[in-house]
Chains A and B, each alone.
Chain A
């Protein structure tokens, strides 16, 4: 896919700056650490180096990754891999002042912040749970396993080592 942000159109840099400002405004409490400007500060993801794949890759391809996983889960019964939608929700869901999870598709939350801005309808949450509730399997560590991007194996491994207990697998609710 072409990266349109780096095309040499006059005024492109101004547009990028404006976009960034809009993102920050929309996402509310974001942690601008350069790893994920759109990650909700109170989420588990805010404390991690990168997503299950490098951030740039995820920004462009998360939908493909989720769609692939969906068939693996429905037909193959494999629910524990790092690309599961429940993993996305578990890691990216924000928490309010009372430490209660906020629906991930609520206004200004992780999914909607970008999807509203880009005017792309997402319908995952017509059916899927928007907060971690009633998980039935152990989520593997988000940065474990083989990367979809060549040459980032070491990065993922390093992230696993450094992230440590920050993203320990959730205990079973049942």
Chain B
């Protein structure tokens, strides 16, 4: 992104804030205007080898997802459950003496099922909301230690070795995608380290990708349920399932007014 563009983004965000205070933000949290895929870089079609990675990740790929909200079933939590299993989120235990409601609000969650209802028509839309893996992530902008970072292949992650738990990133994220680990976690999975005092969020199952397995637990679970609402793949590869799906159907970013060029795109909103 050039310096001029950077400046332009800045002014737009300020204008948006002005609008927001005037109280005219749409309930669905989706800005106006058609989405152009110009932000997604030109196609470089090389498949990741199906073997453990030996070279550092590169810009050749940009991992992302396409979510068709019209296929996302009401009451289905397959993606959330699969994510919990895959990333050890189900191993968190409620601290002694904590009340249930507070715990449910505090426990780490990587995917949230969000239900939107159009006030005028009553039409209900369900969608899974996770880290949107922005090209210009606000969480990275605000991190005082550089712990919040974007991997070369577009995955926005937290380096917990340098995270000090200040939670600025949680404040900055427009998608409420990040969670803070408040208590020591007794059981951990080798693939998903987790400890008190750090922030974490969806990492697009980076451990799978690093092993050459191009899939995420949520997309797989959704397909297993025969809903096929989540498609995962390489946004830079026009032959990838995610690009194929995006070519067929109009999709948009949530809060596209922020111009973050998210890696997760939604249809049916």
What CA separation (Å) do A55 and B209 show in the bound complex?
Answer: 33
Which of B55, B159, B190 is in CB contact (< 8 Å) with A136? Answer: B190
Q: How many residues of A contact B (CB 8 A)?
A: 25
B7 near A: Cβ within 8 Å?
no
Closest CB in chain A relative to B47 CB, distance in Å = 16
- Proximity bits, B11-40, A CB within 8 Å = 1, else 0: 000000000000000000000000000000
Are B210 and A86 neighbours in the complex by a CB distance under 8 Å?
no
Which of B192, B193, B211 is in CB contact (< 8 Å) with A137? Answer: B211
Which residue of chain B lies nearest to A79 when distances are taken between CB atoms in the complex? B210
Stretch at the interface among B66-74, B113-121, B194-202, B236-244: B194-202
What CA separation (Å) do A137 and B191 show in the bound complex?
Answer: 8
Closest CB in chain A relative to B262 CB, distance in Å = 21
In the assembled complex, which residues on chain B have CB atoms less than 8 Å from the CB atom of A75? 56, 149, 151, 159
If A77-B206, A127-B188, A128-B188 touch, whether A136 touches B195 (CB-CB below 8 Å) is: no
B93 near A: Cβ within 8 Å?
no
In the assembled complex, which residues on chain A have CB atoms less than 8 Å from the CB atom of B188? 127-130, 133
B161 near A: Cβ within 8 Å?
yes
B207 near A: Cβ within 8 Å?
yes
B53 near A: Cβ within 8 Å?
yes
Q: How many residues of B contact A (CB 8 A)?
A: 33
A138 near B: Cβ within 8 Å?
yes
A126 near B: Cβ within 8 Å?
yes
B157 near A: Cβ within 8 Å?
yes
What CA separation (Å) do A110 and B105 show in the bound complex?
Answer: 38
A42 near B: Cβ within 8 Å?
no
B208 near A: Cβ within 8 Å?
yes
Which of A72, A77, A78, A128 is in CB contact (< 8 Å) with B193? Answer: A128
Residue ranges of A at the interface with B (Cβ–Cβ < 8 Å): 70, 72, 74-81, 86, 89, 126-130, 132-138, 140
Supply 25 A–B pairs (Cβ within 8 Å), ascending by A: A70-B161, A75-B149, A75-B151, A77-B53, A77-B210, A78-B53, A78-B55, A79-B211, A86-B190, A89-B190, A126-B184, A127-B188, A127-B194, A127-B195, A129-B189, A129-B190, A133-B188, A133-B189, A133-B190, A134-B190, A135-B190, A136-B191, A136-B211, A137-B191, A138-B52
Across the A-B interface, give the 10 residue pairs with the lowest CB-CB distance, nearest first: A134-B189, A127-B195, A76-B56, A80-B52, A136-B191, A136-B207, A127-B193, A126-B195, A129-B188, A77-B57
